[in-house]
Amino acid sequence: MNTFAQEVARGERFEFGKNWRAFLSTLNDDRIRVAENSLKEMIECDNLAGKTFLDIGSGSGLFSLVARRLGATVHSFDYDPSSVACTTELRTRFFPDDREWTIEQGSVLDKDFLKLLGSFDIVYSWGVLHHTGKMWEALKNVTDLVKKNGVLCIAIYNDMGRRSRFWRRVKRTYCSSSIGRIFVSGVFIPYYFSRAAAASIIRRKNLFSTYKNNRGMSIVHDWFDWLGGFPYEVATVEEIFKFYKNRGFKLQNLKTTVSLGNNQFVFIKE
């Protein structure tokens, strides 16, 4: 199996963890509160006491932290060692020496690793599975991790046809070399800054500071996450719905987009 470092060296994978590490410097109580509210809204539950929660692709660790704050027993894993370090840092900050929150490195494509995890009341993987390089395999692999009557929460990039294919080439260029990163950043970051500044003036709100209302995230870190987010795959709402319906899952909650962003799904395993 290829290692994370080998894939990065070949220009086949973005280092999400380095971006998440920078994001942690912006993390505060307000961002945590917003993230907590977004999770409660997504799963339609205010208290996770007595529940088990699996965070696949934990990234910064923010939503593992939120689940633990809501009372769940949490297991977090990520393929990116820097993301594992970020999640560990949050546990150290907020739940030091906590036996109800375990963290490890692993891949959702590694079936032997997944067999050791068992099954969970809530399996959460927001904006992750489309970055594995084998999205449909990853989508299938998570099904056995959900308990009967358990909840599966995923977010997958919307298929916009030619626009999606264009952005796949941009992301591939970004990851290909240092020159690629400089070129893509030099073209798009000034464009995003100018758009955000214009929107702030029109709306009379500081878009840079209010963006945290979107799941507690940071707009600038999300820009780099978007530009470099490779591997990159997409799916339509109908494709995801049928895929899980055929595997015994019932759609419980849905939030769609008409853009390149994520469609969000909550399924119940019947």
| pLDDT digits 0-9 by tens, 54-79 | 999 999 999 999 999 999 999 999 99
How confident is the model at residue 205, as a pLDDT? 67
Q: What is the pLDDT of residues 236-267, one digit of tens each?
A: 999 999 999 999 999 999 999 999 999 999 99
How confident is the model at residue 255, as a pLDDT? 96
How confident is residue 25, by pLDDT bands cut at 50, 70 and 90? confident
Q: What is the pLDDT of residues 80-97, one digit of tens each?
A: 999 999 999 999 999 999
Element (H, E) at 240: helix 237-245
pLDDT of 201 over the 80 cut? no
Structure tokens at 157: 């990039």
How confident is the model at residue 224, as a pLDDT? 85
* Residue boundaries of the structural domains of the chain: 4-159+233-269, 162-228
User: pTM for the complete prediction?
Assistant: 0.91
Residue 158 bridge partners (DSSP): 235
CATH topology of domain 4-159+233-269: Rossmann fold (3.40.50)
Report the 10 Å Cβ neighbour count for 6: 11
